[in-house]
Every structure is written in structure tokens, then in C-alpha cells.
Amino acid sequence: MSTFWKLRVDGWLGRALPGRCVFCLTPLPGDNPWCEACFSELPWNLPACPGCAEPQPGAVRGRRCGHCLRRPPRFDGAWVPLRYDAEVAGLVQRFKFDASPRAGRVLLELLVAGLPPAVQGWPEALVPVPLHPRRARERGFDQAHWLAARLGRQLGCPLVPAQRTRDTRTQRGLDRGERRRNLSGAFHLPDGLPRRVALVDDVMTTGATLDALATACRQAGAEQVQAWAVARTPVGRH
């Protein structure tokens, strides 16, 4: 993606004031950081595969994609309300690489807004996708843990940290099979996980990372696993 949307988001966040839409600066009557017009124009991930949340433009809503039919993921379903595109991509970049708390708060509220009430009350624990300790030290910021910690407080759901046991190579440029092999056995959790857990990340690309973490959760005792993320990378941009 070009720097266009990141620069636009920089401008929005720099000018945003309490009580005004973070996108257009329109005065707001409620507590949400956006106006209804901007909210409706965001790149919502609809329709999407209920198994892995891959965008399915023109498909029948609720139908699983070919990837899930050929090789079902280790998580039972995915809730990813937005596509990684346009202003959402700019927000994610400001949050992930510049550690912008304002961008993070907007993304958190968008995630909550995209989760139906029944889904919000489903998990017994949240498991954020962990960075390897070396990468966390280098970046100084773990975006998935930041999101999950605040989401857990908002939903009244405990956090269970996972351990990344090895520093895997970057996933960029790898196909689906290579991504799965790259992450095989990369996560560990203590035994005794609750029966229902939701995995939390900022962006879901092919789902390979969440798939590997779901495997570790099942090995630690979870019986049902969902994958939650703010945004899903469109097909063709993996």
C-alpha cells in the first residue's frame, strides 16, 4: 500500500478532538469516535467466509470458501469485521508501527462494534497472538497484547498469554503451505485452558498464524476456538 492512507490518518489523528469524528471532524452526539456517515463507508468485510473470514465479494453470505472446504482451519470460526484497506490500513499502520494509542483505541472500538453481543459474551478467555521476545524488544510494542488486554477489560474476559517458542522467519512472500510449515510448533500455552477461547490479533492475512496458535490452544485443553481480528487482508494481497 502507498503512504497515502497513512498520511491521511496522520492528519485525522493529529486534528481529532474529543467529541468529533476521527475521520471527518464532524461534531458527535454520542460516545463513538466516528460519525454514522464515515462508519458506514468503512471497508466492511461483507460477505466473508465464516470459517476464515476471507473476503468473498459476490458470494452467498454464510458459505465457506474453497480453502476452508479443502483444509478446515484449527479454529472453529473467525470474526474479522473489516478489510485491510483504505483508511483501516492507515489506522493499522499507525497503531502497529508507530504505537499510536489514538489509532489503537479507534481500532479497538471498531472491533467491538463489529462483534455481535452474543459473540462478545462467548469466550471464557482471550489469547493474543504473541510476538517473539526479541521482536517485542526491538519494536517496543506488542499490538495484539495491547488490543486483547483492553478488549478483555471491556468484555470482562480474562487474558491468557501464549509463549512464542521460536523466532520464525517473516511470513511475507510465503504461500499458504509455507506459512503453515513456518509456524508449526511455534506457540505454547500452559495446560488447563478454559473450554472456549478467542484468539486476538490486529490483522489476519491467510490465517496461518492464528491456525498455529489454535493448535496450541487445543493441545492446552481448549475445546472450541474462535479467531478474532480487526481487519482481513483482501485476496491477492497476501
**Parallel/antiparallel/unpaired status of strands 187-188 and 163-164:** antiparallel
Confidence label for 181 from pLDDT (cuts 50, 70 and 90): low
Task: For strands 125-128 and 196-204, give the pairing.
Answer: parallel
**% of residues, the chain, pLDDT over 90:** 58
Residue given cell 517496543 in the structure block: 140
Model pTM score: 0.86
Copy the grid coordinates of residue 94: 499507525
Q: Give the whole-angstrom CA distance, residue 23 versus residue 43.
A: 14
- Sign of the Cα pseudo-torsion (192, 115, 79, 131, in order): negative
What ranges in 86-219 are assigned the alpha helix state H?
86-98, 101-114, 117-120, 133-139, 143-155, 176-183, 208-219
pLDDT of 12 over the 80 cut: no
pLDDT recorded at residue 164: 87
- Judge whether residue 90 has pLDDT over 80: yes
- Residues 22-34: what's their mean pLDDT? 85
Judged against a pLDDT cut of 80, whether residue 146 lies above it is answered with yes
Q: Which domains does the chain have, with CATH numbers?
A: 44-232 (3.40.50)
Provide the mean pLDDT of the chain: 85
What local confidence, expressed as pLDDT, does residue 229 receive? Answer: 98
| pLDDT for the residue 1 | 47
Among 85-89, 182-186, 215-219, name the most confident range.
215-219
CA-to-CA dists, residue 70 to 65, 66, 181, angstroms: 9, 6, 17
